[in-house]
Amino acid sequence: MTVFQASTLSLFATALLEAAGMPPDKAVVIADVLVEADLLGHDTHGLNLLAAYLADIGKGTLKTHGEPRVVADFPAAVTWDGDRLPGTWLTVKALELACERAAVYGTCSVAIGRGHHIACLAAYLTRATDRGMVVQIMTSAQENQSVAPHGGSAAAITPNPIAAGWPTDGDPVLIDVSMSITTNGMVARLNRHGQPLPGPWLIDAQGNATDDPAVMTRTPKGALLPLGGIEYGHKGYALGLMVEAMTQGLSGHGRADPVEGWTGEVFLQVWDPRLFAGAGAFTRQTGWIADFCRRVPPRPGVERVRLPGEGGLARRRQQLVDGVNLHPAILPALTPWADKFGVALPSALV
């Protein structure tokens, strides 16, 4: 991997987006979200997505100008039609609104339909936890079918990740979990390199669990298994359906509608502990269980028990100082776009 300063990557991504026609205020938000994903180590959902975003701008399926249309607006419940605008920008805008209203009403939920893809969910969480808030984000993709329902041998839904974050008396807890065992991005990357998955995380069209990512490109096509796999996939399948209801049902846009392109239907909710038992009471409880879990004796082969997000936050701190280890496939995918727009490639630290 080649190492780059995070700010250099943000400026590079912003320049490419602006050259493609994205207004500066939106471009900088999209770039920051993508780089944040790489800082946290989610390198399939960071700058790895930028080339596809630029392609969608060129095709007109990712709008550059405009604002979301308000479908409903109550004090603690807001619904937007995203109007094919950048999902990353829409999600940041919605999160800021939800934090502001949660500080007044205790909680605020925002549902977004018809927005574009929102990238890595974990990349948004500290925008709320740094303000002492509790946050939950989930997303689905109306146009995509890649995850098999439990007991099925063909795809019906998407990985449908759920992310959540909350403050403790130390670092926040940050969760970002797909309702499938793996992601489409990881499967595609391993398939390009001819590498198997770490386990039988897919199912082929004959109903057999497999570690071969190529089943996703064959006819008939295979599918990702829900979280829990062949035996316990009913759990991931059930949660995946819940995500579809919360993102597509509450936003009013989903699989029952015509496909317009790559989407990110979103539901997010923010709570302010100060308007419940109080911020101090909240972190006293979350800090206690965090400390207790860390002190649980590890099983053989495990150094110590960690909290969700602990590794990502440590990686982020290290990469902000030493540079971002950019996956080797990312810059080559962006080089043709840099050449097209006359944008200089970022200078590496190593």
Q: What is the CATH number of the domain that holds 198?
A: 3.30.60.50
What is the CB neighbour count within 10 angstroms for residue 71?
16
Please tell me the distance from the alpha carbon of residue 288 to that of residue 68, in angstroms, as a whole number: 41
Q: Is 229 left (phi over 0), alpha (psi -120 to 50) or beta?
A: left
pLDDT of residue 2: 87
Query: In this structure, is residue 294 part of a structural domain?
Result: no
Give residue 1's pLDDT. Answer: 64
| Same domain? 263 vs 207 | no
What's residue 283's pLDDT?
98
The range of the structural domain enclosing residue 211 comes to 182-224
**What is the pLDDT at residue 155?**
97
Q: For residue 266, list its beta bridge partners.
A: 112, 139
Asked whether residue 83 falls in the same domain as residue 209, the answer is no
Classify residue 304: in a domain, yes or no.
Answer: no
Same-domain pairing of 209 and 62: no
Residue 299 resides in a domain: no
Maximum CA pair distance of the chain? 56
Report the pLDDT value the prediction gives residue 119, as an integer from 0 to 100. Answer: 98
Same domain, 213 and 270: no
- HEC-encoded secondary structure of 79-132: EEECCCCCHHHHHHHHHHHHHHHHHHHCEEEEEEECCCCCCCCHHHHHHHHCCC
Residue 156 neighbours by CB distance under 10 Å:
17
Please give the radius of gyration of the chain, using alpha carbons only, rounded to the nearest integer. Answer: 20
241 and 126 within one domain: yes
pLDDT at 237: 98
Give the CATH number of the domain where residue 316 resides.
Answer: 3.30.1370.60
Beta strands in the chain (DSSP E): 2-4, 69-74, 77-81, 107-113, 134-140, 162-166, 173-177, 202-203, 209-210, 223-224, 265-271, 324-326
pLDDT of residue 26: 98
Which contacts (CB < 8 Å, 24+ apart) does range 304-312 have?
Answer: 307/171, 307/173, 308/173, 308/174, 308/175, 309/122, 309/125, 309/165, 309/171, 309/172, 309/173, 309/174, 309/175, 309/176, 310/171, 311/41, 312/40, 312/41, 312/42, 312/122, 312/174
pLDDT of residue 234: 97
Tell whether 293 is covered by a domain. no
89 and 125 fall within a common domain: yes
Q: Are residues 138 and 252 in the same domain?
A: yes
Residue 289 inside a domain? The answer is no
Same domain, 43 and 16: yes
274 and 195 in a single domain? The answer is no
Specify if 66 maps to a domain: yes
Sign of torsion over alpha carbons 79, 81, 87, 90: negative
Q: Report the domain count for the chain.
A: 2
- 291 assigned to some structural domain: no
pLDDT of residue 18: 98
State which residues of the chain have pLDDT below 50: none
| Residue 162: inside a domain | yes
> Tokens 């999902």 sit at which residue?
87
Rounded to the nearest angstrom, the gap between the alpha carbon of residue 316 and the centroid of all alpha carbons in its chain is 16
